Each structure stands twice: as C-alpha cells, then as structure tokens.
Structure 1
Amino acid sequence: MSAPTGLIDVHHHAIPPFYADALGDRKAIPGVDYPTWTPEQSLEVMDAHGIAAAVLSVTAPGVTFLDGPDASKLARRVNEYFAELVREHPTRFGAFAILPLPDVTAAREELRYALDVLGLDGVGVLTSYGHRYLGDPEFEPLFAEVAERGAAVHVHPAAPPSRDLATFDLPVSLYEFTFETTRTAASLLFNGVLDRLPDLKMILSHAGGTLPFLARRLTYGTTIGAYLEGRAPKDVIGTLGRLHYDIAMSANDFALPALSRLTGTDHILYGSDYPFMPAAHTTENTNGFAEFDGWTDAERAEIGRTNALRLLPALAARLTA
C-alpha cells in the first residue's frame, strides 16, 4: 500500500517558547517528559509523513497554572502566536485557540477574539478544570456559543483532578488520559449537554479513550440507577456516534475496529500527538492508519483529509486559495 499523502493532522501540539518559560519548572503532565519543539521540527516531521497541514494546540495544563488576568493574558499571547504562524504558513498550519477556562466569561471573550479577529480554526479545551468535567452546567453557555458558531472544539485529556497520581508511579498519559476522556464524555451525556447541543462539533482525542469499549455499558444507566431517569441520554450509542474522534496513539488493530463500530468513518480524523509522542511514533501511527484493513481507500481518504476539512472550513479555504 502506498504511503498516505495530503493528511490533515488534528492532534498536533505546539510549545511556544514563552509558554514553556511561563510553565517553568512545573510538571506539565505528571510523569511525562516535556519535549522540545519548534515550528521547523513540526514541518520536518510533517513532510516525512505525508502530512499536508497540522492543526496546532497546547496540551495540558493549558493556562490553568495561572489565575485570573494572568491566565487570560497568556491565552491571548498563545493565540496571537498561533495566528502569526498561520499567517506565515497558511497551507501548513491551522490552530485550535486556547481558552482561559474555568473562567467562562473570559473564555467566551477569548473565543470571540480568536475566531472573529484572529481567524483561528476552532478551540481546544481540556477534559476537566478543577473538579469540574465538561458536562458541568457552568460550561454549557460556552459550548452553546461554540455550537451556534459552527466551530469545532478539540478535547484533550488533562491529569485527573481527584487522584493520587503517585499510586502506581506511572505517567498519567499512559492510561489515565483515556479514562479522563471517558469521564468527561459521560458527564456530557448524563447532564444532557449533547442532547441539547446536537450541532456541537466535538472532537475527542485518542479514539475516544475507552468509549468504544464501554459504549454499550453506558446504555445501562437507568438499569443500574433508577435516579438517572430523566438524565440518561435518549440514545447513548447514537450520540457517541455523532461525536468526532482523532486516532492519535490509536491507529492499531486493537482500537480501530471498536472505534469504527461505534462511529462512521466520516467522524474519524487523523492525528499524530507530535511532539509529545516522537517522530518514530508518527511513523508507527501513520503506518497503522495506512495499513488497517477495515477501511476502503475512499474511507481512508475521508479520515486522512476530507473529514477535517469539512470540520475546519477556514483551513479548507486556505488550502484551496
């Protein structure tokens, strides 16, 4: 099978130098080695793997290590940096704006600036802020505005808020990230957010964490606890299938069959997780994407490119200008 070309990578991280300086000695993700990054490194990896464009985002902890105006100022600086990179490389980079959550008022202000003034391609959020997951009522006005605007929102895991991270002395991204994605999806489901906002274009990282495996189990909410009557989603499987999923760290014969069973290939997107996963993993993940025999060539083209362009019209317009 020939190597894929023209890929759109929707899970590709950036580490602006001033962001790394602000983070300082704080451990960005517990147990995870913090990589070095430059735009030139990304372009080199992209060129080596047939990636036409990468949509940049900042991973955990976002700007949550700062408070109030300081968080908003750093988010604004990151978003303006992203906009400048997109101006310099309009056909190679897109960007998901970072928002200064959990301050929803500030986040909505930054959303408008990032989309209306900077022209970024969507927004990126974490699975939780403090002890609140994305289904918390506090966050719904933000997601309602995102949905109304037709913008895409990329959800990236954060370190779990209620866990002794030293229990197993293992990096949280090794396994906890998948559970965090599942937890925030469950909160969105059982707080009714996804039913009330059916047009929300939400992309979950890493093939949805454990959602493909647990999807049927999540239909048993009212069977297990009658108090969930009235809170349970109308159609758990259908709602999960309506979400979008990137395949960062997941393009393998264990994850892809389950994900493909849960959602259509029109809701799956290519992702690399570079540079937090090194170039060698981009090779492995891209090969897994190319070699998986559960998709037709037409479906593979959807996943690798056209699904992302449909979700990200500003990027699509730059690529066809």
Structure 2
Amino acid sequence: MGFIDVHHHAIPPRYAVALRGSTPIPGVDYPTWEPELSRQLMDDNGIDAAVLSITAPGVHFGGDPARTRRLAREVNEYFASLLSDRFGAFAILPLPDVNAAREELAYAINELGLDGVGVLTAYDNRYLGEPEFEPLLAEIAERGLAVHVHPATPELKDLATFDLPPSLYEFTFETTRAAASLLFNGVLDRLPELKLILSHAGGTIPFLANRLTYGPTIGAYLAERAPRDVLASLRRLHFDIAMSANRYTLPSLAAFADPANVLFGSDFPFMPAATTEETVAGLAESPEWTDAEKTAIGRDNALRLLPRLAGRLQSMP
C-alpha cells in the first residue's frame, strides 16, 4: 500500500541529552532511537514515509523559558535535516509561551519547510481549548497546516499510589479532555478549517461522542457553550489508528468518523515493531471499511493533509 505514518516519534540527540536525569513519562521504558531504526521498521512494514514528532513531555519542563525555546529550535532544525521522501516532520513549539510558539511556527514552516505542527493536549494543566491558545491555533488554521495532537502526562497527585504508567490508559482520557475543551470552548466551530489529528483513535471520543451531546441536559449553563451540532463539530477532527487497529476499537471509530479523516500511525519506537505489524494487519482485516477506504486511510488521507510531504514523494524517481 505504501503507508504514510503520521504517528511516528523521534528522539533527536540533543533532545535525548535534555531528558537525562528526568522521568519523561512515568512508568514508561523510554526507548533509544536513531533514523535507521525507523527506516528498518518502515521497510519491513510497507511504510513509504513517516512524519516525525516529539512525544511527552515535549520541550517544556517547567523551567527556563529560554531553554524551552532553544530546545524547540534544536529539535526543529534536526527534523529539517531529515526531510526527504522517507521522513516528514511536525514542528515542536515552545508552549505554553504562545508568542514564542508563533515565532517558532513561522521559522519552522517558512524557513525550515516542516510539514505541520505537533502539540500536546495540555501545557501546565491548561488544555488546548483555553483562550490563550486560540490565537496560535487560528494562525495554524489560516496556514492550512495539519496539527498532530499527542497526549501529555496529566498530574496524577490524587493517584500517587495507583502505580500504573499513565500511557497505559490515562493518555486516552487526556486526548478526550483536550477534545472536550476545544468543543465546549467553541474553538472547533470558530476555527472550522483547523486540521487536528487526535492520537490513538481519538482516545475515547468515538465511544463517548453521543454522551457529550448531553452537556446542556446535565448542566443548563452549558447550553450557551455547546455547539449547535456537537457530533458534526467532533466529526471535523482527524484520528490516527496507532495502538487502535483491533476488533474492539476500530468498530467504534468507524461508526463515528468519516473514513476520509482516519490515518495510519505506528507509535514507533515507543511501541515495538510487533505493534506496527498488528496495526497493518488490523487495518487490512477490518470489515468496517472498503478496500478503497483502507487505501485512503493508509496513505491518501495523510498526503492530502500534508502537501509538502506529498510533493517530496512525487518529486522522487
């Protein structure tokens, strides 16, 4: 098929150095990575190109803002050095500083030529639907850029003894929180051209979408905040199938999402090659979509969202 992998992580050398001595994602075995490992996975699984991104904790470690800006710049310049017919990249931004993020956005897109933007669901416990992020999202929408939304690690102080890695289950809820924040703060309707790609089949959004229509019933104050058509607003979102191409998750996603808004993802290297093989097989065997829709999910939908990557693929012999 020649898949396009929109959920594929990288750990640039300078980023790996910055993470030393920290616990990036509690309870998670942080992998080692180099481009050749990705190329091997891609070759073994029929993936033509992978769009690289940084996962949690991003580049903001709650410290010096200048360090956050510098690390974002170093990561984006490293990504630019890999741009080819095999690799695209989502620019990392030095959020939560929106002004610095807009400056880095201009540099990463205008000067470095990156393919889109990668953001986390929240920064300092402020979710993407909060008013301070809307000017940035509006500029991204105006530029027509795709935005890959990856879950962050929420504060778990109330679950300090739960002793399970948040990526095991909490990441799905984190994505749901971000989507609900965007929905009930009106961002999805004010920015209908915003091209958001939610990780892991949208967390629990497909399963809970109809429940979210009950907001004004549960709390009358939400009548002024809820979109006129909650489901239509949520269906403008895009969803990758990383860690989700199985008989339990895909039926819910397929029942909810427009197949034109579903994309292939591997979550490599945080998930091993076996999971990519599972995703390839799960998509192929899924009875939910036609063969033409599966081809679009595996490749065409991503190329439509990422025209720069599509251009690099077309230009290669």
Shift of 1:125: 0.3
What is the aligned counterpart of 2:116 among 117, 122, 132? 122
Task: Name 1:320's counterpart in structure 2.
Answer: 314
CA RMSD of aligned residues (A): 0.9
Cα separation, partners in 2 of 1:294 and 1:50, compared to 1, 3 Å: same
Q: Which amino acid aligns with 1:49?
A: N
| CA-to-aligned-CA distance 1:250-305 (integer Å, 9 cap, x gap) | 00111111111111110000000000001111111111111111111100000000
How many residue pairs were aligned? 314
Q: Does the 8 Å contact 1:131/1:162 carry over to 2?
A: no
Q: Which runs of 5 or more residues in structure 2 are unaligned? A: none
One-letter amino acid of the structure 1 residue matched with residue 282 of structure 2: G
Find the counterpart in structure 2 of residue 211 from structure 1. 205
Mapping for residues 82-97 of structure 1, pairs under 5 Å = 82-86=79-83, 90-97=84-91
Name the structure 2 match of 1:311.
Answer: 305
Question: TM-score if structure 1 supplies the norm length?
Answer: 0.96
Q: Distance in 2 between matches of 1:71 and 1:18?
A: 12
Hey, what's the Cα distance between the residues in 1 that align with 2:141 and 2:302? Answer: 17
Q: Which residue of 2 aligns with 1:78?
A: 75
Letter in 1 for 2:213: T
Which of 19, 26, 33 is equivalent to 1:23? Answer: 19
In 1, Cα distance between the equivalents of 2:271 and 2:134?
32
Residue in 2 that maps onto 1:54: 50
- Cα gap change, 1:82/1:165 in structure 2, threshold over 3 Å: closer, same or farther? farther
Correspondence for 1:150 among 135, 140, 144: 144
Name the structure 2 match of 1:274.
268
Q: Does the CA contact (< 8 Å) of 1:62 and 1:98 recur in 2?
A: yes
Contact 1:30–1:165, Cα closer than 8 Å, also in 2: no
Partners of 2:157 and 2:204 lie apart in 1 by 18
Q: What is the distance in 2 between the residues matched to 1:197 and 1:203?
A: 14
Q: Aligned partners of 2:302 and 2:250: how far apart in 1?
A: 18
What displacement does 1:163 show? 4.2
Partner Cα separation in structure 2 for residue 249 and residue 114 of structure 1: 29
Instruction: Name the TM-score, length of structure 2 as normaliser.
Output: 0.98
Equivalent residue for 1:109?
103
Q: CA deviation at 1:167?
A: 3.1
Q: Name the structure 1 match of 2:4.
A: 8
Quote the Cα distance in structure 2 between the aligned partners of 1:28 and 1:119: 28
Rounded to whole Å, the distance in 2 between the matches of 1:145 and 1:162 is 32
SS of the residue corresponding to residue 183 of structure 1 reads helix
What SS does the aligned partner of 2:235 have?
helix
Instruction: Tell me by how many angstroms 1:165 deviates.
Output: 4.8
4+ residue stretches of structure 1 with deviation over 6 A? none
2: CA distance between counterparts of 1:231 and 1:294?
Answer: 33
What is the CA-CA distance between 1:166 and the residue it aligns to?
Answer: 2.8
Counterparts of 1:161 and 1:142, CA distance in 2? 24
Q: Does 2:70 match 1:42?
A: no
What is the rounded CA distance, in whole Å, between the counterparts of 2:236 and 2:188 in structure 1? 9
- Equivalence map 1:165-314=2 (5 Å): 165-314=159-308
Structure 1 Cα separation of the partners of residues 57 and 159 of structure 2: 15
Separation of aligned partners in 1, 2:115 and 2:304: 12
CA contact (8 A) 1:128 1:161 kept: no
